Amino acid sequence: MLDNKQIKWLEAEAVNSATTRQPLYAARKKVFPKRASGRFRQFKWLVMAITLGIYYLTPWLRWDRGAFAPDQAVLIDLANRRFYFFFIEIWPQEFYYVAGLLVMAGVGLFLITSTIGRAWCGYTCPQTVWVDLFLVLERAVEGDRNARMKLDAAPWTARKLVLRASKHAIWLVIAVATGGAWIFYFADAPRLLGEVAAGTAAPVAYVTIGVLTGTTYLFGGLMREQVCTYMCPWPRIQAAMLDENSLTVTYNDWRGEPRSRHAKKALAAGLPVGDCVDCKACVAVCPMGVDIRDGQQLECITCALCIDACDNIMDKLGRERGLISYATLSDYNTNMAIATAGGTHPIDPTLVRTAGGAFSDKLTHFHVHKISRPRTFVYMGLWSLVGIGLLFSLMTRNRLQVNVLHDRNPQFVTLSDGSIRNGYTVKLLNMTPEPRTIVVTMQGLEGAQMNLVGSDLPAGRSFAIPVEPDRLKTLKIFVRQPANQLRGQTQTFTFVANDQAGLESDRYIATFNAPETTR
């Protein structure tokens, strides 16, 4: 074991402390998180690169849908009321797919939280990702924690003015890029970029860029942890999602207490000494300004940077990693009972170690099977069920639809030869990016024939109608039945729409009305 003198103690106080709660309307105390290094920090870099890459690059991906549809891979075409996602095209009446994805997202969030805590908040939440990005740029301009604290406390000089102006200018560039990237999801990205640069884009594009620029700059650069603490509802909700088998970032005080900065002197005096040397590295790296040693707190987003910081200190001291780790409440309580002899006296580090200094075999450590519990399987099953249902519906959906509206006034007309005529508005929806010829056929209604209004086609029981790609074709059709074929005041028959290629079909059951005297 190395001497504690080789450890650098940091003057870091928790801005958000579990022991001293800040008034709700108190002025913000700035948090200057120190740069961490370790496996969780590397994982956060990876997540940040992937998520930002997806956000900024997705509008520029191309997907060939033929000559009659846009070639942007992901496009929310509000003008034509379409949503394109690679090979998938969603129409307004198919919004249930979006609703299903939102249900999957909600259930997935419950699943993640109940198993590994606030992993969404710590790694993939947009607020976390952009704050991480802004912090990277802040460190590049102003330096790491001590340099930024010193600069913040220093009087205004030309150097401070240049550094601050440079930092905020870079933040604004990132914020503008964020707002700009968002509008590219709603129109062809290359064309819209040219229009925005030339000043000819629609006003709503500039308004959207302005709003998102302001919110990104404000939330990511200025408010930061306050968004998570005061604005986000999830910290309040997540408590209901956790149980004793959920993984959370935990300070294992059963091995860390009593804390001491002078372990050798304490041991020489016969005092119990834990592994925590009170270096406050965990506090210094926390972007939320909390001290994880105070226990679970609303502000903690479980980003695990405190684990990296503590592990680095344990490495320098030659001690086992994991003083701060992902752990379940069940394991923590079991180990705490060992360290306190069932709660009969304060924590004694000697109770959790053998005479040789190794950890006792009685200690409980995390194993993946502990999160494989009924609750996990219920969430996973529900999530999978919704996903499979959406996928099945997507793969088997009909891209041809027919809808019929009967004339309401008049409901029928008696012609000079005594036959009865009903009028219908028939709508053919071609939901593919290719032109199609749709054959409309009438089934049932003995002896009846159709007339297509505005067409030279002779009366008959079937018509071939060309329909443009991704378009709705509206037809006006008269159906006439001879008087001697009438079978009552109300009869039903079917309009059948078939793709001429024989790939898809749809049908609609319509009503034919006649005078009451024909019974």
What is the structure's pLDDT at 262?
A: 73
What is the structure's pLDDT at 4?
A: 53
pTM of the model: 0.84
Tokens 């986000």 sit at which residue?
A: 232
Average pLDDT over residues 74-100: 89
Q: Give the three-state DSSP class for 375.
A: helix
Backbone torsions φ then ψ of 276, nearest 5 degrees: -75, 125
- CA dist 322 and 320 (Å) reads 7
Q: Give the three-state DSSP class for 464.
A: strand
**Would the pLDDT of 1 be above 60?**
no
- CA dist 110 and 123 (Å) reads 16
DSSP one-letter string for 252-272? -HHHHPSP-S-HHHHHHTT--
Residue 198 tokens read as 């030339």
**Would the pLDDT of 367 be above 90?**
no
Q: Classify residue 234 by burial, with Cβ atoms within 10 Å: 0-12, 13-18, 19+.
A: middle
Contact in structure between 479 and 449 (CB atoms under 8 Å): yes
Average pLDDT over residues 233-261: 87
Backbone torsions φ then ψ of 20, nearest 5 degrees: -130, 100
What is the structure's pLDDT at 58?
A: 95
- CA dist 411 and 511 (Å) reads 10
- CA dist 467 and 241 (Å) reads 51
Contact in structure between 353 and 71 (CB atoms under 8 Å): no
| Bridge partners (DSSP) listed for residue 300 | none
Q: Give the three-state DSSP class for 171.
A: helix
**Would the pLDDT of 107 be above 70?**
yes
Sign of CA dihedral 273, 274, 277, 283: negative
**Would the pLDDT of 153 be above 50?**
yes
Q: Give the three-state DSSP class for 413.
A: strand
Contact in structure between 59 and 184 (CB atoms under 8 Å): yes
How many residues appear in the chain?
519
How would you classify the pairing of strands 449-452 and 471-481? antiparallel
How many CA atoms within 13 Å lie on the side-chain side of 502? 0
**Would the pLDDT of 68 be above 60?**
yes
Alpha helical stretches, state H, 184-252: 189-198, 203-216, 225-226, 234-241
pLDDT band at 519 (very low <50, low <70, confident <90, very high): very low
How would you classify the pairing of strands 88-90 and 247-251? unpaired
Task: List all residues 6 or more positions away from 56 whose beta carbon is below 8 Å from its beta carbon.
Answer: 177, 181
Average pLDDT over residues 331-357: 88
- CA dist 200 and 202 (Å) reads 7
In one letter, which amino acid is 53?
G
Sign of CA dihedral 274, 280, 286, 292: positive
Average pLDDT over residues 469-488: 90
Contact in structure between 88 and 95 (CB atoms under 8 Å): no
Closest CA to 263 of 482, 69, 465, 5: 5
- CA dist 399 and 309 (Å) reads 56
Helices vs strands, H then E, count in the chain? 16, 14
Contact in structure between 331 and 369 (CB atoms under 8 Å): no
Segment among 53-67, 174-188, 239-253 with least mean pLDDT: 239-253
**Would the pLDDT of 472 be above 70?**
yes
- How many percent of the chain have pLDDT more than 90? 58
**Would the pLDDT of 218 be above 70?**
yes
Query: Angle, nearest 10°, between helix axes 145-153 and 126-142?
Result: 70
Omega cis (within 30) before 258: yes
What is the structure's pLDDT at 42?
A: 96
Distance of CA 51 to the CA centre of its chain: 11
What is the structure's pLDDT at 518?
A: 45
**Would the pLDDT of 435 be above 50?**
yes
Alpha helical stretches, state H, 77-157: 96-116, 119, 126-142, 145-153
Instruction: Compute the mean pLDDT over every residue in the chain, rounded to the nearest whole number.
Output: 89
- CA dist 158 and 161 (Å) reads 5
**Would the pLDDT of 215 be above 70?**
yes
User: For 32-67, what is each residue's pLDDT tens digit?
Assistant: 999 999 999 999 999 999 999 999 999 999 999 888
- CA dist 371 and 366 (Å) reads 9
User: For 407-421, what is each residue's pLDDT tens digit?
Assistant: 988 889 999 888 999
Average pLDDT over residues 375-403: 92
- CA dist 135 and 34 (Å) reads 10
Backbone torsions φ then ψ of 450, nearest 5 degrees: -110, 145
pLDDT band at 443 (very low <50, low <70, confident <90, very high): very high
